[in-house]
Structure 1
C-alpha cells in the first residue's frame, strides 16, 4: 500500500518548535491540563518512537501505554533526540509496508493507515501545545489539516476519554486549523 501522506512537514514543524524551547520554559503550562512543557516533551519522545515502531511493526504485541507526568524522566539530550526520532518516524512511514495490515502503539492495535493518522494528529496537536506554551507559532500544511479534520469530524461533543477533552464550540467558518484544534478539546483563541 502506498503512503497516504508524508510526515515530513508535520515533523519539521514540531522539530522547529522543540528547537525554540529554552530550559527556563520547561515548567511552563501547556494547553493540556496539568501538563507542563517538560512532561509534554517526555510524551513526545515516547510517542515519536512508538509511532516509528508502529510503522515498522516491531512494536506489535509488546507496546505499552505512554508514560507522562512528573515521575517520567526527561532525557538530558531531548534537544537532539526529538528531531532524530522525528526524522526516523518520517522515514519509517515512507515505506509502503508501514501502511499495510494492523499495527500497534501505546498498547492499542488498529489498522496501520488509521495509526498513521493518529500519529499525524499527535505531531500536529502536541506541536501546537508546545508552541502555545512557549510563545511560538506552528505552521501546518493544508493537506495535513484536511486529513485531521476528516479524522476528527465525528468526535463526540464530550470528547474522547483519554485522548481529547470536550469539543470547544467555534463557528463553522473558522479556519480549518482552529476547527481541528477545537475537535481535540483545545481553544484556538
Structure 2
C-alpha cells in the first residue's frame, strides 16, 4: 500500500481465493463454515456476488450490482462455478489496479463510501472469507503480511472497540485473542470468528 494513494494490489488475495475454491470438492458444499448462517456452498455463491459488486464499485457503477448487500445461496451455483468465480475474482483484482478506483466516492452494498475505503473492504472480504473457505474445506491458509495488516486497520477503524454499532449486521461479537497474536488471528477474531475454528467432525 502506498502512502500517497492508499492503493493496494488485490491480486494476490483474489488469486488465493480462486485457488482455494478450486480445492473445494462438490461433496463439501453442504459443510458448515465459520459464518454460522452459511454453508460452504452459500459462502462460495457469496464470494462470486461480492466479486461482481466490488468490481462495479471500482468503476463507480451505481447500478443493481452495488445497490444491495451481499447474500449467499448454494442453489444458485451452476456446474461451472469454479471457472465463473475465478473469472470474477480476476476482474475484481484488475478493476482495483486503476488509481481512479481508489478516488472519489462509490457505492457498494447500497452504502456510499470513499473509493479507498471500498477497496479496503474488498480486501478484507477476500482475506476473511478466504480463511473461512480454507477452514471449512480443510485447506491451509497462507496470507502475505500486507493483506491482513491493511484489512485489520480497516476493521479496527469501522468496528473495533468503542465502535460496536459498526458491527451490526456485518460482524459477530469480537473474539478475545492475546495482544501479541499474529495480525491474521487478530483480524479473524475482530470479525467475530475464533481463530481456532474447525468444522465439526
**TM-score, with structure 1 as normaliser:** 0.92
> In the alignment, is residue 185 of structure 1 matched against residue 192 of structure 2?
yes
**TM-score, with structure 2 as normaliser:** 0.87
Q: Which stretch shows the higher mean deviation, 74-83 or 16-25?
A: 74-83
How many angstroms does 1:40 deviate by? 0.5
Post-superposition Cα deviations, 1:54-74, rounded to whole Å, max 9, x if no partner, equal 00112358622223246x512
- SS of residue matched to 1:153: helix
Q: Distance in 2 between matches of 1:178 and 1:65?
A: 26
How many angstroms does 1:18 deviate by? 0.3
> In the alignment, is residue 165 of structure 1 matched against residue 169 of structure 2?
no
How many angstroms does 1:145 deviate by? 1.3
* More relative contact order, 1 or 2 (CA 8 Å, 6+ apart): 1
Q: How does 1:20-169 map to 2 (within 5 A)?
A: 20-59=23-62, 63-69=67-73, 73-154=76-157, 155-156=159-160, 160-169=167-176
Post-superposition Cα deviations, 1:16-42, rounded to whole Å, max 9, x if no partner, equal 100100000000000011210110011
How many angstroms does 1:121 deviate by? 0.6
- SS of residue matched to 2:112: strand
Post-superposition Cα deviations, 1:83-123, rounded to whole Å, max 9, x if no partner, equal 10111011100011111111111211100000000000111
Structure 2: runs of 5+ lacking an equivalent: 197-201
Q: Distance in 2 between matches of 1:177 and 1:2?
A: 24
Runs of 4+ in 1 over 6 A off after TM superposition: none
- SS of residue matched to 1:110: strand
- SS of residue matched to 2:76: coil
Structure 1: runs of 5+ lacking an equivalent: none
